[in-house]
Amino acid sequence: DSGVTQTPKHLITATGQRVTLRCSPRSGDLSVYWYQQSLDQGLQFLIQYYNGEERAKGNILERFSAQQFPDLHSELNLSSLELGDSALYFCASSTLPNTGELFFGEGSRLTVL
Amino acid sequence: QKEVEQDPGPLSVPEGAIVSLNCTYSNSAFQYFMWYRQYSRKGPELLMYTYSSGNKEDGRFTAQVDKSSKYISLFIRDSQPSDSATYLCAMMVEGAQKLVFGQGTRLTINP
């Protein structure tokens, strides 16, 4: 158990809908990362927050947004969903803002029908 | 061309064999090199962490980094069925926030 909690574990929705994925980092970790994992693209970095502030942005679509709240939990919002958004979405946390030692949650599997 | 290339396999070997997993990369600024292991339906977990060049050993696992060739390797000795998983290499530029992952190699160790 990494200590990172993600909800929901599974989500099935329709095209055009909006969903919110939630992540609670390990106790004491200030940095939260979001990654998307698909069969053809592998693990792709989406966005990183450190202590409530956006630190880095990767290949995150404009239809996607994220935030980190004062209690350090984070949410990833996906809107106007398309079939191609079906993937595993992972949250990871770390103590420091720029370390390669990430602790991943078990992921949220999104299926868009 | 992807920044990090990794053969997705699958790779299947008998129990007790030595396994060699590899990644190549194009960004010479990478300084941190990691290997993550991902079991089915789980998140990746950090297995090995190396800064710059050289070797690092941890039990049955050895990580090697050759920056001159832009090539990293993970060796697993005396492989066990419990080592069956997907192994992902990951790299990062010093001071950056983003880990760049390889595609992952799916490994099966047969009893």
Looking at residue A97, its pLDDT comes to 65
**Does the CB of A7 have a partner CB in chain B at under 8 Å?**
no
Q: Which residues contact A84 (CB under 8 A, 6 or more apart)?
A: A112
Asked if A42 lies within 8 A of B101 by C-beta distance, the reply is yes
Which token pair is A27?
């106790």
* Amino acid present at A69: F
DSSP secondary structure letter of residue B103: -
Asked if A56 lies within 8 A of B43 by C-beta distance, the reply is no
Asked if A42 lies within 8 A of B102 by C-beta distance, the reply is yes
CA of A70, closest CA in chain B: separation in Å?
21
Q: What CA–CA distance (Å, rounded) separates A11 from B65?
A: 39
Looking at residue A103, its pLDDT comes to 94
Alpha helices per DSSP H over chain A: none
Contact A44, A36 (CB under 8 A): yes
Instruction: Order the strands of the B54-58 sheet from edge to edge.
Output: B4-5, B19-25, B71-76, B61-66, B54-58
Beta bridge partners of A92: A33, A104
Q: Is A104 helix (H, G, I), strand (E, B) or coil?
A: strand
Q: Work out whether strand A108-112 and strand A10-13 pair parallel, antiparallel, or are unpaired.
A: parallel
Which token pair is B20?
């060699």
Asked if A107 lies within 8 A of B103 by C-beta distance, the reply is no
A58-to-A33, A65, B33 alpha-carbon distances in Å: 10, 12, 19
A77-to-A20, A63, B7 alpha-carbon distances in Å: 5, 8, 32
Nearest to B15 by CA among B86, B63, B76: B76
Looking at residue B79, its pLDDT comes to 97
Q: Is B83 helix (H, G, I), strand (E, B) or coil?
A: helix
Contact A91, A32 (CB under 8 A): yes
Q: Is A28 helix (H, G, I), strand (E, B) or coil?
A: coil
Extract the residue ranges of chain A whose pLDDT is less than 50.
none
For chain B, what's the residue count?
111
Looking at residue A52, its pLDDT comes to 94
A56-80: per-residue pLDDT in tens?
999 899 999 999 999 999 999 999 9
Q: Mean pLDDT per 10-residue run, chain B (111 residues)?
A: 89 97 96 95 93 90 95 97 97 87 95 94
Q: Which residue of A has its CA nearest to B2?
A: A41
Looking at residue B97, its pLDDT comes to 78
Looking at residue B28, its pLDDT comes to 94
Q: What CA–CA distance (Å, rounded) separates B70 from B47?
A: 20
